[in-house]
Structure 1
Amino acid sequence: MHSSTRFRQWAPLLACLIIHITHSTPAGEAILGRRRTPERGAVNVVSYNVQSFPSTLQWAIYVPNADRIEHIATTKVMQSPQLDVVVLQEAFAKSTVKRLANDLSLMGFSHVVKPARHPFKLTGGVMIASRSMLIRESSLTFQTCCGLDCFAAKGIVFVETRIDGKSVGIIGTHLQANDPLCASFSSTAYEAAREVRRDQLRQIRQFVDREENARLDVMIVAGDLNVNGYAEAASDQETEEWNEMMQALQAAPMTRTKHRTTLDHSMDPATNSYMARTGDTKHEHLDYVLSLRLPGRSAPPNATTLRVHRARHPITNADLSDHHPVHGRVPL
C-alpha cells in the first residue's frame, strides 16, 4: 500500500489521539519545557489566596471549585521563570490540595508542604511549594481566633530551604479575618478581630525569634494577613494597624510597584469579577510578602517589592479567586 494512502487511513485516528492527549494533559505538563531563569541575589515568592472550601460549602456560598482551581498553576504569575516559592492560602478542599500539589510539582515545585489535617476543624489551608529542597519544616496553630475562623485550624507553615547559596526561611500564614461574629458587648467586630490578629502576629514573631532561626540569612512571611495596607482607601484605624503590624513583625519596608499589567491592591471588586459577585465594594490590600529581621541581628533587612497580578480563566477571562495573587521580591 502506498505510504500516502496508509497515512490517509490512519490520519483520523492520529488526530483523535492528539486531541485526547492535549485535553487530558494536567495543567502543569503544559509548561514543563519552560526554561527557568532564577534571579541572582533575590528570592521571588508568589502568595495567593485561592479561596477553596470543601465542595458542599463552596457550592453553597461561593463560585464552585470546578473549572477554576485547575487553571491556577498555568496563570502568568505562576509561570514566572524567576519564581522560587509559592505560598497558597484557603486551600481547604482536599481535591484542591491534591490538584495544586500535582500541578505545581509538574512545574518544578517538587517540594510541597500540604496543610496539616485536623480531626474536628478545617485545616489551616496554607500550602508551600518550593523548587529547592526543604531542609526543615514545621507548623504552629494559633492559640486565638474569633467568629467563623474558629472552624479552621489557622496558624503558620514554615519551611527552610537554600536559594542562591543562602539559607532562607519562609512562613506561610493566614491571619484572622474581619467577621461580624467577632463583635461583643465591649468591642466592635473590627476591634475584636484586630486584637486577635495582634496576638497572632505576636506568635509569629515569637516563632521567628527561636534560637534555631538565628543562623538563617533571610526570613520571609507570605500570606493573607487581613490588614489593609492600601492607604488611599484605609481608615485611620486600618492605617494604624498596618504600622503596628510592620513593627510587631519587625518587617522591612515594602513597596508596591506598578507595571502596565499590574494592579494597585489585592482585593478590588472593580478589577475582580469573582469578588464583584459577592457584592463587596471595599478596596483593600491584604496580601503580602515581607522580609523580617532575624534574631540577634541589629541591621534591618533590605526592603521588599511587591506586584499585584491578575489570575484569570483562559477562556472566560473570569478571575480565579476573590483575591489577586501577589509576587514579592526579597533581596538576599
Structure 2
Amino acid sequence: GGTWPFCSARPTDCEQFGLDFVKSSKAGDGLLSCFSGNKVLCRPKTIVSAVLPSEPNELNIMTYNVYDFPYLLVTMGQRERICRIPSELYRNFWDVDILLVQELFMEGAVEQLNFRKMMKHYGWKYSTDTLGSRFIVSGGVAIFSKYPLFNIEFEVFAFTGFRLDALSPKGFVYANFEKDGRTFHIISTHFQAWDGDKLDKIRLAQGRQIRNFLNNRNISSEDAVIIGGDFNFNYLTQKSSIDQLFTNMDMTMVPIGGSLDTTFDPNLNNIVSVFEEPAW
C-alpha cells in the first residue's frame, strides 16, 4: 500500500485491513518509487493449520451476502471489512466446503491482494468468476470451493425491477463438483430486492428461471442439487411467498438446525445505517 508519488503508508495501515505488516520501502511493488514517504507490504495472517474438507458423507455450505457495495453508491468501510472475511472464515468456519457469495461487487482488499486471492490463501482454492457486468456494476454472485468446480455457467435474470437493482445484472452462477464419489450441482443467486407485490412476482419469476435452467441440464436423479443465496424474502413474515417460491423451483427447504435468529440495529450497526460513519 502507498500511493505514488507522495507516499504516506505506515505499518499500522496493514492492521486496518486485518493483515500483517512485512516491510516498508520507497520502491514497494517495484513500479514507481515514492518521491517522499514509503509504501508498505502487507500479507494475510499466517495459517496455523491446514484447512480440510468436511468429514465423509457430510457437506458444509455457507451463503454470505458480503455487502461489498461500490464506492459509487456508498462508502462504509467495505474494503476494510472485505479484507477480513477470508481470515474470519478460516478461524471460525474452517469446515465450510462451499461458500456462496452475493454482492461481491468490488472484490477489493488492498493493492494487488483481492478477496479471491485471500480465499485461495486460506484454503478455498477453487472459484468461479463473478457474474459479469453489462451495466454499472457486476452481478455480484460467485462460488468458492475446496473442491474443483466444473461446467461453470452464468445467467442473468430476464425479469428485473427498478431502483438500485437496475444497476446490477442480477442472476446466478452454476457449477458442479464431486465429493466422496457423488456429484453435486450448486447455484449461488441474488434475487430482486425491496418490498411489494410486484417485486414479489419478479422474485417468483426469477425462481422459475432457475428451475428452467436446471431442467435443461439433464441432471441425474442420483445427483444432489443445492440452491443458495439472498432470495430477498423474509422467512418470518412472507411464508406463503416462500412456499410459492419453492413450488416454482420444485425444491424443498432443508430443515433449520437450530434457532432462527435475526437482528436489525441501525443505531449501533453502521453497516445497516449505510449513510453514517464507516464501520467494519
**TM-score range with shorter-chain normalisation?**
0.7 to 0.9
Shift of 1:319: 7.8
Q: Kindly indicate whether the alpha-carbon contact (under 8 Å) linking 1:52 and 1:58 is maintained by their aligned counterparts in 2.
A: no
Moved more, 244-253 or 152-161: 244-253
Matching residue within 131, 134, 144 for 2:149: 134
Corresponding residue SS for 1:208: helix
Shift of 1:119: 3.8
d(CA) in 2 for partners of 1:55, 1:273: 19
Pick 1 or 2: higher relative contact order, CA cutoff 8 A, min separation 6.
1
Query: Identity, % of aligned pairs?
Result: 22
TM-score (norm 2): 0.75
d(CA) in 2 for partners of 1:78, 1:212: 39
Q: Kindly indicate whether the alpha-carbon contact (under 8 Å) linking 1:149 and 1:177 is maintained by their aligned counterparts in 2.
A: yes
Shift of 1:140: 0.6
Corresponding residue SS for 2:226: strand
The answer to whether the aligner puts 1:36 opposite 2:52 as a matched pair is: yes
Shift of 1:130: 0.8
Q: 1:268 is matched with which residue?
A: 264
Corresponding residue SS for 1:256: coil
TM-score (norm 1): 0.64
Q: 1:21 is matched with which residue?
A: 22
User: Unaligned regions of 5+ residues in structure 1, if any?
Assistant: 1-18, 179-188, 280-317, 321-332
Moved more, 94-103 or 125-134: 94-103
d(CA) in 2 for partners of 1:137, 1:251: 21
Q: Residue 194 and residue 153 in structure 1: after superposition, are their counterparts in 2 closer, same or farther (change >3 A)?
A: same
User: Unaligned regions of 5+ residues in structure 2, if any?
Assistant: 1-19, 24-39
Matching residue within 87, 90, 94 for 1:81: 94
Q: Residue 91 and residue 76 in structure 1: after superposition, are their counterparts in 2 closer, same or farther (change >3 A)?
A: closer
Q: 1:115 is matched with which residue?
A: 130
The answer to whether the aligner puts 1:226 opposite 2:227 as a matched pair is: no
Moved more, 122-131 or 204-213: 204-213
d(CA) in 2 for partners of 1:135, 1:275: 35
Q: 1:171 is matched with which residue?
A: 187
Matching residue within 208, 216, 220 for 2:214: 208
Which residues of 2 match residues 154-193 of structure 1 at below 5 A? 154-178=170-194, 190-193=196-199
d(CA) in 1 for partners of 2:267, 2:221: 42
Task: Write 1 or 2 for the structure with the bigger share of helix.
Answer: 1
Q: For residues 214-238 of structure 1, what are the alpha-carbon distances to aligned partners after superposition, in whole Å with 9 as ceiling and x for unaligned? A: 36611111100101112xxx1xxx1
Corresponding residue SS for 1:68: helix
Shift of 1:246: 2.0
d(CA) in 2 for partners of 1:216, 1:150: 38
Number of aligned residue pairs: give it: 240
